[in-house]
Amino acid sequence: MRKLVLGLALASTAIATPALARDNSWYLELNAGAMIVEDADLDINGVNNAATAEFETGFDGGAVLGYDFGPFRLETEASYRQSSFKGSNGPDASALTFMVNGLLDFGPDDGLQGYVGGGAGVGRVHYDIFDDSDTGFAWQAIAGIRAPISDRVDVGLKYRFSNVNNLDFVDVAGNDISTRWRSHSLLATLGYNFGEPAAPPPPP
């Protein structure tokens, strides 16, 4: 009787658990959501904190191509962010970033899984009010959750903190302006795994 009960339990688990295609495979992810840009102090013509830029809630979206090694993932990412100054009809500021990220996964592959990580790369920030752009070193911190809805498709939520320092602009009047970009994003994610689904377990 005990063998029969154990066999039924194993069989039901095999039916309920999707055969996933995550580990040791390439994946593609699309993400989009809301973003908050931190207030930015503006140094103008050598005068520190001469003005402050305040922003409305903006949006953030991007695409990721990565490889899942199991507990660790390595990925390349391109993302675009856009926001407006408070009281403006905007858009007034945007950031385009290209990153290489490393992520650590924890939790079961066949259920809700969490991950943390970070990335580094370059960011190009444009301010319409200055009619100028600058490119600088960019880095970010990432945390999120994901869950499979089929053997190849995941959905999830991701938090992303992005930072681009040492940005220098020249406005239309010829003033030298230095500042930085910092933003916090909450993103919905949709992932597709290109690996072959794992073989189902043998019958008991």
What fold is seen in the domain 2-193? Porin (2.40.160)
Listed residue (169, 176, 148, 160) closest to 97, CA to CA: 160
- Whether 67 and 108 have beta carbons less than 8 Å apart is answered as no
pLDDT > 70 fraction of the chain, expressed in percent and rounded: 86
User: pTM to 2 decimals?
Assistant: 0.83
HSE-CB at 126 with a 13 A cutoff on CA atoms is: 11
Question: Nearest to residue 37, comparing CAs of 162, 183, 163, 186?
Answer: 183
- Report the pLDDT averaged over residues 131-154: 97
Cβ–Cβ under 8 Å, residues 114 and 145: yes
Instruction: Provide the residue ranges of all domains of the chain, joining segments of one domain with +.
Output: 2-193
pLDDT of 177 > 80? The answer is: yes
CB 88 within 8 A of CB 117: no
The answer to whether 96 and 63 have CB atoms below 8 angstroms apart is no
pLDDT at 197: 65
Mean pLDDT of the chain: 89
